[in-house]
Structures are given as C-alpha cells and as structure tokens.
A = this chain, B = another copy of it.
C-alpha cells in the first residue's frame, strides 16, 4: 500500500529554504543527517556546526540551503505533511465511506511506518514530529511565517481531514478543532508514553492510541 518513492516528490513551500535541498546531494545529505541528529540531540542541542562536521561539510555550506535551523525544522515538518497527504489521498482513493476514511487517517497518524523514503528515515522523522514539530509554530514569528504560506502543507492536511469529518456529519461546527485536537493529541501521547507515562494510559502503543482517538472522533461527531 506504500506508494513507490519514485512517484513522490515532496512539494515544500519555496519560502522555507534558500536553495532547494532536494536538488543536490549535499542538500539530501543535510536532510538525511539532520533527521538523525535532531532525533539524537533534540532540537535545542542541534546546531549547524554539529551537522556540518557530521556530514563532512561546513556551516557556511548549510547556510546556503537554510537561513537557520528553525527553517530546517519547518522543512522537515512540511515535508512530513506533504508526504502524509500523499499517502492519505492514495489510501482513501477507492473508499466511499467517510467513516472508513477517517479511520484510515487516524491509523496512519498513530501507527507510523518505519520505512526510508528518499533516504529519509521516516521512523525518526515521526519521532521528531512528535517531540519537536510544535516548536516550528510556537514562535513569535509565527504570523510572519504564516503570511508567507510556510505552514501550507500542515493546513492542507488538516483541511482534508476536516472535510472528511464534515462528510460524516455535515454542519458539524468544530471540524478543525476536532482534527487538530486529534493530531496534536496523538503526538503528545506518543511523547508522554515514552517520557511521562503518568500523563497517559497503558498500553499507549499506536494501536490503542488509534482506538482512543477514533472512538473519540466518532462519539464527538455523532453526539452533536
């Protein structure tokens, strides 16, 4: 069911990078290794200098691709949502029932595939999404970034899911709230289950997470 990599090229908004990293081997190296480094060190300890030594390049070279590490995080996040949308659309292509579509989506979000796409370790990228991606928007420049469309891919994904919710219950007043609550919730619970288990419930694996949020979604949608 996983789409072949050759057919997928992530469309990440141009404003995020200075030079498209997907067009050169150094750029791809930056992406590949930054995922590993950010996952290992955490975003705050991660620096372009460390990345540079890791890929046997220089800080200056990396700065030609990304203005700063925050933009790199935004790129990874944006790429993730671009990829997720692609997968979702493909998986739901031949489904008619919106409840099935929603179920599909929630499972996709909660149970990450551990494959490698375009050289990028999706398992680690998912961990970054859970632990670091909110730092991409929880910043003072958020309005400015948003004005330039740098959250487009995430917003698009949310919009698609919201439409599915509305298919299930036309006129439901809070589709976006529900969808972002589920998405951010999944990421939080993943983190909690690993680091702050008393903030979640056992077993907090992907399957029970999907179960919890799918039930939640359906109860809420039908209740209103």
Copies in the assembly, this chain: 2
Q: Do B177 and A201 touch (CB < 8 A)?
A: yes
A6 at the interface (CB under 8 A from B): no
Given A134-B134, A135-B135, A155-B196, A181 and B173 contact (CB-CB distance below 8 Å): no
CB distance from A223 to the nearest CB of B (A): 4
How far does the alpha carbon of A158 sit from the alpha carbon of B151 in the complex, in Å?
31
Partner of A215, one of B41, B142, B204, B220: B220
Q: Do A146 and B180 touch (CB < 8 A)?
A: no
The residues of B that contact A189 with a CB separation of less than 8 Å are 177, 180-181
Q: How large is the interface on A (under 10, 10 to 19, 20 to 34, 35 or more residues)?
A: 35 or more
A176 at the interface (CB under 8 A from B): yes
How far does the alpha carbon of A215 sit from the alpha carbon of B172 in the complex, in Å?
13
A27 at the interface (CB under 8 A from B): no
Given A215-B220, A220-B216, A220-B219, A188 and B198 contact (CB-CB distance below 8 Å): no
How far does the alpha carbon of A190 sit from the alpha carbon of B26 in the complex, in Å?
40
Chain A positions 111-167 with a Cβ under 8 Å from a chain B Cβ = 131-132, 134-135, 137-140, 142-143, 146, 151, 154-155, 158-159
A82 at the interface (CB under 8 A from B): no
Q: Do B140 and A132 touch (CB < 8 A)?
A: no
Since A177-B212, A181-B185, A219-B220 are in contact, a sample of 6 more A-B pairs with Cβ atoms closer than 8 Å, ordered by chain A residue number, is A151-B196, A158-B198, A159-B198, A173-B201, A176-B198, A176-B199
- Which A residues are closer than 8 A to B by beta carbons? 41-42, 44-45, 131-132, 134-135, 137-140, 142-143, 146, 151, 154-155, 158-159, 173-178, 180-181, 184-185, 188-189, 191-192, 195-196, 198-201, 204, 209, 212, 215-216, 218-220, 222-224
